[in-house]
């Protein structure tokens, strides 16, 4: 009989972030962020502070990580995944919002990411390191396209 491994303690974790987009003619551009030390391209997101609503977390974290001030247009959805850190197994849910910039500059991003940049959405889909991020960006693109086709101009 083989020895059983002790089970790691389990915790739930939550984050909120966004897909910041702008349109240029027919192109849709979004903001993505890179950690040079690990070579990961990702969407901006972060952990809520005590008493902070998810929307407030998303706006704050996106602003800190990208240097941009944004407003929320709509909910995109959420992703869930497992990870292990410091001997604890986490089940994490990240909520994402579709956002548009209303001020700020990406040059003013914090030090969490080494590079923050605008790129055309199909390029972003090729650069993003995680499938969860590409799934969220794909949903965001469909939301923007659908709104354009309906001529609403709300997104």
Domains of the chain: 10-149 (3.90.79.10)
The residue-averaged pLDDT of 2-20 equals: 87
pLDDT of residue 128: 97
Q: At residue 152, does pLDDT exceed 90?
A: no
Residue 151, pLDDT score: 67
- Mean pLDDT of all residues belonging to the chain: 92
How much is the pTM? 0.89
Q: Which runs of consecutive H residues, i.e. helices, occur in 5-130?
A: 54-66, 121-127
pLDDT for the residue 37: 80
pLDDT at 154: 53
Q: Given this model, what pLDDT does residue 146 score?
A: 85
Distance of CA 78 to the CA centre of its chain: 10
What local confidence, expressed as pLDDT, does residue 106 receive? 96
Q: What is the DSSP letter of 145?
A: H
Give mean pLDDT, residues 101-105: 97
Residues 6+ apart with CB under 8 A from 19: 30, 43, 76, 96, 97, 98, 99, 136, 137, 140
Question: Taking the mean position of all CA atoms in its chain, how far away is CA 27?
Answer: 20
């Amino acid at each position: 009989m083989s020895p059983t491994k002790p089970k790691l303690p389990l915790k739930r974790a939550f984050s909120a972030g966004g897909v910041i987009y702008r349109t240029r003619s027919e192109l849709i551009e979004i903001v993505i962020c890179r950690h040079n030390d690990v070579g990961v391209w990702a969407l901006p997101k972060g952990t809520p502070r005590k008493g902070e609503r998810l929307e407030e977390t998303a706006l704050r974290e996106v602003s800190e990580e990208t240097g941009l001030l944004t407003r929320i247009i709509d909910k995109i959805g959420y992703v869930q995944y497992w990870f292990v850190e410091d001997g604890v197994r986490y089940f994490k849910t990240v909520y994402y919002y579709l956002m548009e910039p209303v001020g700020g500059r990406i040059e003013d991003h914090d030090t969490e990411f080494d590079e923050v940049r605008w790129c055309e959405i199909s390029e972003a889909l090729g650069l993003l390191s995680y499938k969860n991020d590409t799934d969220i960006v794909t949903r965001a693109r469909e939301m923007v396209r659908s709104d354009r086709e309906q001529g609403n101009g709300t997104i």
